[in-house]
Structure 1
Amino acid sequence: MTPPNTARRRETSRRAILTAAFDLLQEIDYAKVSIEGIAARAGVGKQTIYRWWPSKGAVILEAFLLLSEGAEGEPIRLPDTGDLAADLTEVLRATVAELTDPRYEPPMRALATEIAHDPKLAAAYHERLDGPLREAKRERLRSAQQAGQLAEDIDLDIAADMIWGPLFRRWLHRSGPLTTDYADRLVATALDGLRPRGSRQ
């Protein structure tokens, strides 16, 4: 008789938990989502969840990473066609689409809430998502800098904050409509101030 494949069973349970967490966020307010509720939806005991994740926020982070982007592993890369404005416009438009997607907005807002109060979760978020994404932003801006499209002396981290920061702030605070037109104007305004002196349009 073939013994049960415990690794497969663990992976099946893990995916069931993450799917349950993601689905519950589409149905009820984040404040009402609980480890007990996730366990009941997934058909596992809550101790199974605590064996793998220390908190509800950690489950949500894992669910978002797995179900929105697929398995981790490949490095994040931004498009680099040589046209910085076009590439950034493409990326920011895609970001607007994701932030306003009803499937992904609830878990992203839940993560923003938890990260603000949980330093360990914030560190995990930076290590697994925000850090690699920030490096991809720096790399794309560095490429433009080397091509003479950006000033040689700009701080690439500050430049990334100038381009992406207003988008996330508007989304997080619900301070205005998040549209592709806003993304386009954001790119144009940021790049006009970042171009080498004497070549601003």
Structure 2
Amino acid sequence: MIEESTTARRGRGRRPAAEVRAGVLAAAGRVFLSEGLRAVTFDRIAKEAGSSKVTLYKWWPSPGAMAAEAYFAQTSRVLEFADTGDIRADLVSQLTSFVRWLTDEGVAGPVSELIGAAQLDPDVAAAWSEQYARPRRELARERLRAAQLVGQLRGDADLDVIVDQLWGACYHRLLVLRVPFDEELVPRVVDQALYGAARAE
């Protein structure tokens, strides 16, 4: 569910900066996820959030960078990484949440636009890498390391490659092959990453 924007506080006096920023990000997230990246402009979001356009220029170098941060804010609660003690179950659960977010919530199109913009806009690229991709990758690595420590994964397992296999499979289908996919893919991808394709001895 996409959050509604924060309405301006009635009465005199300034709103706290954190409240203004949260309202701007909520408005930008709503517009971005429902209408796409081109709809996110400083004029549009300032009006939606009841904020000053000057403030938006001060906080973000481009509308694309603002849209990126708004997307990250939207995903933080959706893509939480559980630790139940069962690494396979936790990977299936987390990757299923990711695939549902892209497909059932209709986010695949806007996300594709954002990743495409990151190839041309260095501000969007930096935001995507530093604020989203690397932190989310580290969350996955932490969960895999925990599984490694209790013997659920081999001690020499390459955790970075496992992450690439899991989320890379989704992004490859979304961005390169551009073929439909849904959560039924997830258990197969997880089993392939964890157990491989070699014949059992």
Per the normalisation by structure 2, the TM-score is 0.77
In the TM superposition, 1:135-174 aligns within 5 A as 135-173=138-176
User: Which among 18, 24, 28 is matched to residue 21 of structure 1?
Assistant: 28
List gaps (5 residues or longer) in structure 1. Answer: 71-75
Change (3 A) 1:47 1:189: same
Partner of 2:72: 65
Structure 1 residue 12, shift from structure 2 partner: 4.2
Structure 1 residue 165, shift from structure 2 partner: 0.9
Q: Is the 8 A contact 2:32 2:67 kept in 1?
A: no
Q: Is the 8 A contact 1:163 1:187 kept in 2?
A: yes
Instruction: Please say if 1:191 is aligned against 2:194.
Output: yes
Q: Is the 8 A contact 1:22 1:107 kept in 2?
A: no
Q: Which moved more, 1:90-99 or 1:143-152?
A: 143-152
User: Which among 53, 56, 69 is matched to residue 49 of structure 1?
Assistant: 56
Corresponding residue SS for 1:117? coil
Structure 1 residue 96, shift from structure 2 partner: 0.8
Which has the greater radius of gyration? 1
- Structure 1 Cα separation of the partners of residues 40 and 112 of structure 2: 13
Partner of 1:73: none
List gaps (5 residues or longer) in structure 2. Answer: 1-11
Change (3 A) 1:84 1:53: same
Letter in 1 for 2:37: Y
- Structure 2 Cα separation of the partners of residues 68 and 143 of structure 1: 23
Q: Deviations over 1:140-166 (max 9, x none)?
A: 222222333323223211121012210
Structure 1 residue 55, shift from structure 2 partner: 0.5
Instruction: Please say if 1:35 is aligned against 2:38.
Output: no
**Count of matched residue pairs:** 190
- Structure 1 Cα separation of the partners of residues 84 and 20 of structure 2: 42
Q: Is the 8 A contact 1:25 1:106 kept in 2?
A: no
Partner of 1:97: 100
Structure 1 residue 50, shift from structure 2 partner: 0.4
- Structure 1 Cα separation of the partners of residues 98 and 180 of structure 2: 14
Q: Deviations over 1:118-149 (max 9, x none)?
A: 23332233322222211111122222223333
Structure 1 residue 59, shift from structure 2 partner: 1.0
Q: Is the 8 A contact 2:162 2:194 kept in 1?
A: no
Partner of 2:7: none
- Structure 1 Cα separation of the partners of residues 181 and 158 of structure 2: 27
Instruction: Please say if 1:114 is aligned against 2:117.
Output: yes
Per the normalisation by structure 1, the TM-score is 0.77
